[in-house]
Amino acid sequence: MAVPTFVDQVSLHVAAGRGGHGVASVHREKFKPLGGPDGGNGGPGGSIILRVDPDVTTLVDYHHSPKRKAENGGHGAGSHKNGAHAADLVLAVPDGTVVKDAKGNVLADLTGAGTEMVIAQGGRGGLGNAALASSKRKAPGFALLGEPGDEREIRLELKVVADIGLVGFPSAGKSSLIAAMSRARPKIADYPFTTLVPNLGVVTAGETTFTVADVPGLIEGASEGRGLGHDFLRHIERCAALVHVLDTATMEPGRNPAEDLDIIENELSRYGGLEDRPRLIALNKIDVPDGRDISDMVIDDLRERGLTVFPVSAASGEGMRDLTFAMAGIVARARAEKPVTEAKRIVLRPPSADGSDAFTVTETGEGWRVRGEKPERWIRQTDFSNDEAVGFLSDRLNKLGVEARLVQLGCQEGDTVLIGDPDNAVVFDFKPGIDAGAEMLGRRGEDQRFDEQRPAHGRRKAIQEALPDRAENETRADVARRLDKPETYGPKAYVVGSSNDPDWAENDPDA
């Protein structure tokens, strides 16, 4: 199987690193039983960055390895130790790379050495319980999870950054011209479609140095996919000028340079976007006797159209100097008119689900769907195995106004509420509540608003409420026994042998 060396289109799957989880930890030290929370934060995941590298001229590396993933962030630890920041993954791309999403929408056009784009943002690290502590929540028994990094399918398309583009029929001599003007050594042979990939050559004329590229396989119907021109026409979109290389010594019957020019111009017009480029005409192969005669026959007609024409011979070098300096003049003028651009950094920031920083609530057949950047981010950060973390999420959603909006729209207790993307939503049964407010006392990792799952909590609460009405000598244990077995101890407990014992009078020997 042949291994391609020039690849100008690839599909790439990129996945940024996940953020590290925060940790719930309590400071432990001798003689300091209440050391306080000291859980550290998780480190952010690595991002994936596309960076223009002048030394890279093809996308072949991504053709062989179409999946790239960045490192995950480190988890937090006790003693206020934060997780490590994951290193960013930098992908070098050629100058002139166009980045598109899976649907073909252009995300960025990367030109200029050093220009970079954050195509996938690394996930944020979760906060540890030390960062979550506040005046109302002094000892959180939970931490936030790290967020997953961005993951997407993108398409990279290379548009060669050349100053001059050579266009013409196969075997017109485009590769020979590049070889004659520069040190490039493209494949040259006497049959059509010898060149299968664009060739680049560096040319120096006076004080101007510029690059020249040819478009292989440009024939009639190329804009509709015939030949190879449809695949490579985009490589001349960035050229300052186009040079039509016309074959004056073709052996094909019915062809002449003027008609070849009209056919190629028609294909360029149908492709679009090249109407404003200056044109030069190179009548090639005048070293052949018939070629010089045909050149003399059509040169006046072409000049009457307002075109600049140069009879040249790539084989003998005749006319090459004039053509080269004409190219250099166009390039110099284009560079003088072009504004100076500095390398820039592009960060892809997709909009939130509803187009704002708030949220939307929509009634669907599955239930009430909540979408928004904040609610969905909070869902990703929550450890649903920890009741206290779920209570914290409830407080955040309540403070944002999600619960009030649901009630306003008619959501009833027990209705299904879905938060997040339809393909991966978190489902709740709606139960209106109140904000937790101050510090909630209880076991670490538990929330009193979920006490229906803890009978012991309800028993302790009942005992606490009955303590003010106990008898004079009744202990807490007596109250607990009375509440557990009212048929034995009656509505109010008593102490055997004491003054509140109903049998005390008749059993008293001194009575």
Decide the pairing of beta strands 241-247 and 279-284: parallel
286 is in an annotated binding site: yes
Decide the pairing of beta strands 308-311 and 279-284: parallel
216 is in an annotated binding site: yes
The token pair at 431 is: 């139960």
30 is in an annotated binding site: no
174 is in an annotated binding site: yes
499 is in an annotated binding site: no
70 is in an annotated binding site: no
Helix 257-271 to helix 289-304 angle, to the nearest 10 degrees? 50
Spatial distance between the Cα atoms of 475 and 508, rounded to a whole number of angstroms: 23
314 is in an annotated binding site: yes
149 is in an annotated binding site: no
Decide if 47 contacts 70 (C-beta within 8 A). yes
103 is in an annotated binding site: no
195 is in an annotated binding site: yes
24 is in an annotated binding site: no
169 is in an annotated binding site: yes
**Residue type, position 337, single letter:** E
5 is in an annotated binding site: no
123 is in an annotated binding site: no
Spatial distance between the Cα atoms of 83 and 40, rounded to a whole number of angstroms: 7
370: number of CA atoms within 13 Å, CB side? 30
Q: What is the Cα gyration radius of the chain?
A: 39
217 is in an annotated binding site: yes
**Burial group, residue 340, by CB count within 10 angstroms (0-12, 13-18, 19+):** exposed
The token pair at 70 is: 């960045």
Which residues make Cβ contacts (< 8 Å) with residue 274, sequence separation at least 6? 236, 237, 242, 268
Q: Sheet of 208-214: strands edge to edge?
A: 200-205, 208-214, 164-167, 241-247, 279-284, 308-311
Decide if 175 contacts 195 (C-beta within 8 A). yes
144 is in an annotated binding site: no
Decide if 426 contacts 418 (C-beta within 8 A). yes
175 is in an annotated binding site: yes
Which residues make Cβ contacts (< 8 Å) with residue 476, sequence separation at least 6? 463, 467
197 is in an annotated binding site: yes
172 is in an annotated binding site: yes
428 is in an annotated binding site: no
394 is in an annotated binding site: no
Spatial distance between the Cα atoms of 435 and 368, rounded to a whole number of angstroms: 21
Which residues contribute to the annotated binding site for GTP?
168-175, 193-197, 214-217, 284-287, 313-315
The binding site consists of 168-175, 193-197, 214-217, 284-287, 313-315
Residues at the annotated binding site for Mg(2+)?
A: 175, 195
